[in-house]
Each structure stands twice: as C-alpha cells, then as structure tokens.
Structure 1
Amino acid sequence: MLSPNTIQIIKSTVPVLEVHGTAITKKFYERLFTEHPELLNVFNHANQKQGKQQTALANAVYAAAQHIDRLEAILPVVKQIAHKHRSLGVKPEHYPIVGKNLLLAIKDVLGEAATDEIIGAWGEAYGVIADAFIGVEADMYQQSEQQPGGWSDFRAFRVARKVKESEVITSFYLAPEDGGALAGFKPGQYISIKLNIPGEANTHIRQYSLSDAPGKPYYRISVKREDAVDGRPEGKVSVYLHEQLKEGEAVWLSAPAGDFTLDTTGKDPLVLLSGGVGLTPMISMLNTQLANHPGRPVYFIHAARNGDVHAMREHVNELARKHGELSVHWIYQDPTAADREAGAFHKEGYIDLPWLSDIVRTKDAEFYFCGPTPFMRAVNGMLKEWGVSESNIHFEFFGPAANL
C-alpha cells in the first residue's frame, strides 16, 4: 500500500506528465537500450522509430499517475499489456532495469523540478505497479504452460503452407515442429513470432492475429507486406516473411495471447468491422461463430482500397452462400475498373453512420472492429454518436495502443 503522502506527490505530477510524458519515455528508451542493448531483441524497432512505443508508454504512465489511489481502475489495461509482455517473454528481472531507467529519465527531463521527494515517491509507486504486472504475468505464464498443448516462452514451428491471399497479404500455416499437441485459443487472440533475419544484429519479434478458427492442426497468420511509403521504412519482418521465408522452414512462436476475444454465446446481432489487414482477427471470429454457434445474425463489413488488396473475399462470400444469417458488405475506397465491372463491392468511399445504421438497423448489437488507427477512430466515433453502449464496443490495436 502506498502512503497518503506518496499518493499526493504522484497526483501532483499528473499535469507535468501530460506535458512532458513523451519526452520522458523517449529519454527512457534511449537510456534503456544504451545500458541494456540485449533488450533490443525484445522490442519492436519499427514502433520505436515511429514513436508509437514512446507514446503508448507515456499514456500508461499518465494513467497510472491519475489512478494511483485506485489502481484497480486500470487493471483491464494492466491485463492487456501483460498479455503482450507474456507473448514477448518479458520476465520479472526486467522490471528493476525498467524502473531504474525510467526514474533516471524523469530526472533527466525535469531537472531540478524532479526533487528527491518526487523521485522517491515515483520509485515507491513504480514498485507497487511492477509487482502488479509481475503477479498478473506469472499467472499468465503458468496458464500458458499448463494448458493442454501449451508451452512457456517460444516453441519451434515449421511453415506447413504459404498462401498468397491478395497483392499485399500472405497467409502462413504453422505446425509444431515436434509434432505435439497445439494449445487452443480464443478467436481474436494473437501469437508472437520470433525471427533471426540474416544480416540483422538483433532478433525480431512481431505479434500477428490468428486468422482461422481454433481446433485446427495448425495456427494461421495472415501478414500484410509493409512496403516503404511516405518516408516510413519498409517492415523488415513482413518483407522477410513474404520474400524469404519458405515452406518447410522453422520459426519460433509464443503461445496465443490477448484479451480481444469473441463471446460466441451471445444472442444479440454480431457486427464485425475491419479495415485492411485488420480483417485477420475478424476472420477467426467469423469462422468460429458460424462453425460452433450458427443462427446468430452476423454482419461482416470490410473496408479495403480495392479488390486487388482485398484478402479472403471469396472465402467470406462462400460462407454467406452457406449461412443465411451472415450478411456481407464490402467498401472500396478506390475500386478498380475490374471491381466495377464485376460488381465486387457494395459501397465506394468510406464507412459512415447513415450507411452503417441502415445496414445493421439496431444499435443493440455487439460491435468488434480492427484496422488502421484512423479507421478505428472513425468507427469508434460513429458508434458513440449512434449511442451504442460502451460495453458493446470492442476493438484491438495492432502494436502499441493509441488513443481513440
């Protein structure tokens, strides 16, 4: 338990963190990787370069300071981050390293304003927060290892099949190299894939949603190739997976993780909205719902640039032909001439509330969505404007969580 004085001091730093939070976390990562370069084998380098990780950590520290007197309020966020930590292999011994460098970064950025009293209070608070993470993650490691077909840390898999789904998305069917049982998962969860890319000094770990239903003898991930665009560098891992990883080769996977999961037993209509490669967890949810709990009204709504980059379209169309409860809708931002000739899409441009409400017809439904942050921000805004209950809105970020 934190003392009332410590809580008061932490609360008093909230306005400072609002202004200087990202500067502090940027300095923190600089210090961390200078002192402990081995941690570059854990962190996503692309998110570091783009500033996403620094912003996500700043938001987390800010939230912790705001709610330091009732940390139970941020327990859902703790669990969400803990899922990512478990899938990356974060261990208890990493927390003192992080704490030391975070306090030094606060001191570096704030200078004399970071008094010994403030640093002491934050050190005490960090200890309490770290203990919460360590406890939650210990349970997750134990559950991961003890479940049927489960394991701890990383396990060798081979690429059983590699299937091109569109011009930019390829699916990888991954089977355990030891031939053993495969841990189950909930639709919407993800795995971490660990790679040693030739010519790269560090191991690279990326998290990808599982894109098929549980219960298969493989895990499937469907990966978008991230090419260089608008000054953003190409995705080293996605390009390697597309261009160099071959069928029969080995990769290392963590057990499935994540709290963005579908309740397949619900009775209200189910609305699955996706943009771009955000359709991958939605396909897992769709396949699972229709196979195990048919009869529930399902709306599958996907936005893509055009048919050339639209993955798994025929698979979903085939499901719609077999399942009368499934209603499918495609939105193309920039349809090709072939798309127009084939009548391959239902709306040109972007999803908007009048169109969405006309399709679904009720706000008393369960809404799940995933895609690029601008897409998610737009969908979240529409649902709020429509008056959809907060408890019926579910979403997942690819990478560090941003603010919708």
Structure 2
Amino acid sequence: MGFTEKQEALVKESWEVMKQNIPEFSLRFFTLIIEIAPAAKNLFSFLKDSNEVPKNNPRLKAHAVKVFKMTCESAIQLREKGEVVVADTTLKYLGSVHVQKGVIDPHFEVVKEALLRTVKEAIGEKWNEEMNGAWGEAYDQLAAAIKAEMKEELDQLNPSTTPLN
C-alpha cells in the first residue's frame, strides 16, 4: 500500500505542533521510554549515571530532536521516494551505534510506544487512529532501515563461514 499522502500530511501536521516545544516533548519521550523499560536508561550515555531523566540535559534534548526529526523526515521520503531515505553514512552510523549498544528488536518497540504516546499527548484532540497509523508506519519503516544496517554491521563483524561443497 505504501505511505499515503494523507499519512504524510498527518505526520507533518503533528510535527509542526511538536516543534513548538521540543524541550518538553523530548523530555516526555525519554521519560516514557524509561517508564516502559527502566533498563533502557543504560543504553543512553546521557542517562546512564542518573536515577531520573534529567530535565535540562542538552544531549537528551538533542537526541530526542534527532529521533523526532528523522522519523518525520523519513515519513516524507516514504511518500516521495517509496522508501526510507536517510544518508547512507547516517544509516551506517545508526546501525553501528545500535549494534554497539546491544539494541534488540524489543527496544525498537519500546521507542515506538514512547514516540506514539508522546505524539498523542502533544497533539491532544487531533489524535486519532489515522494519526497513530501514520506515525507508526513512519517509525516502522525507519526502524526497518536501521535494523537492516545493524544486520549488515553484524555480518561484517561475524562473517559466517560457508561450508565448502
């Protein structure tokens, strides 16, 4: 089916709302990640040594902005190009970092849940199943691209030995 024009419009519309208060929503996003999966805190260098999500942590805010922005921009690319388009170097870096940190599939689901809940809180009454589906699809496509890079990274780190026939 692909990412529809309507889905793209919904993601863009809600992103415009969230951009008005990135510090608040980035903090909420990471608070939700830690609430859903407390052990995830150890995956983030800027949260690792803290007992709570720091409210004025510039690295946390910068990271959350990147996640929101990349998800939104990849959603727009889904519509325009039919696939996630992120600079190869960025995707390779994301794949490498996620492998180094030990990120696994359930971690992506935690981030997705936190992202959807953050968007829902940010846009309030405008939230509906279509909006949920649009952000969910955008995130799933970006996560799939990162996972593909992670697999490539792992394959390079652990080349499989092919038996000779």
Q: Which category of TM-score, normalised to the shorter sequence, fits these structures?
A: 0.7 to 0.9
Task: Specify the code of the residue in structure 2 equivalent to 1:8.
Answer: A
Match of 1:10 in 2: 11
Distance in 1 (CA, whole Å) between partners of 2:96 and 2:142 is 16
| Cα distance change on mapping 1:37 and 1:64 into 2, 3 Å | closer
> What do the CA deviations read for 1:82-116 (whole angstroms, capped 9, x no partner)?
22111111112211111012111222233223333
Distance 1:40 1:73 in 2: 26
1:64 aligns with 2:64: no
Structure-to-structure mapping, 1:315-334, within 5 angstroms = none
1:24/1:105 contact within 8 Å kept? yes
Deviation sequence 1:133-157 (CA, Å, 0-9, x none): 111111111211239xxxxxxxxxx
Structure 1 residue aligned with 2:80: none
Q: 1:116 to 1:74 in 2, by over 3 A?
A: farther
Query: Which one of the candidate residues 114, 118, 128 is aligned to 2:141?
Result: 128
Query: 1:348-359 maps to which residues of 2 (within 5 A)?
Result: none
2:6 maps to amino acid? N
Letter in 2 for 1:112: E
Structure 1 distance, partners of 2:40, 2:74, is 29
8 A Cα contact 1:86 1:140, kept in partner: yes
**Correspondence 1:119 to 2:132:** yes
What are the within-5 Å matches in structure 2 for residues 202-281 of structure 1? none
RMSD over aligned Cα atoms: 2.4
1:25 and 1:102 in contact (8 A); partners too? no
The share of aligned pairs that are identical, in percent, is 19
Q: Is the 8 A contact 1:10 1:122 kept in 2?
A: yes
Q: Secondary structure at the match of 1:68?
A: helix
Report the AA paired with residue 22 of structure 1: P
The alignment's TM-score, normalised by the length of structure 2, stands at: 0.75
Return the alpha-carbon distance in structure 2 between the equivalents of residues 13 and 109 of structure 1.
8
The structure 2 residue matched to 1:55, chosen from 52, 58, 62, is 62
- CA drift of 1:117 comes to 2.3
Task: Using the TM superposition, give the Cα deviation of residue 27 of structure 1 relative to its aligned residue in structure 2, in angstroms.
Answer: 0.8
The amino acid of 2:18's aligned partner reads: L
Q: Of the two, which has the highest radius of gyration?
A: 1
User: Which structure exhibits the higher relative contact order, with contacts defined as CA atoms closer than 8 Å and separated by 6 or more residues?
Assistant: 2
Alignment partner of 1:31 is 2:32: yes
Larger relative strand fraction: 1
CA distance in 2, matches of 1:39, 1:93: 11
- CA distance in 1 between partners of 2:89 and 2:64 (Å): 16
Structure 2, unmatched stretches of 5+, are 78-83, 161-165
CA deviations over 1:284-335 (Å, ceiling 9, x no partner)? xxxxxxxxxxxxxxxxxxxxxxxxxxxxxxxxxxxxxxxxxxxxxxxxxxxx
- Could you give the per-residue CA deviations for residues 235-288 of structure 1, whole angstroms, max 9, x where no partner exists? xxxxxxxxxxxxxxxxxxxxxxxxxxxxxxxxxxxxxxxxxxxxxxxxxxxxxx
Distance in 1 between the 2:33 and 2:23 partners? 15
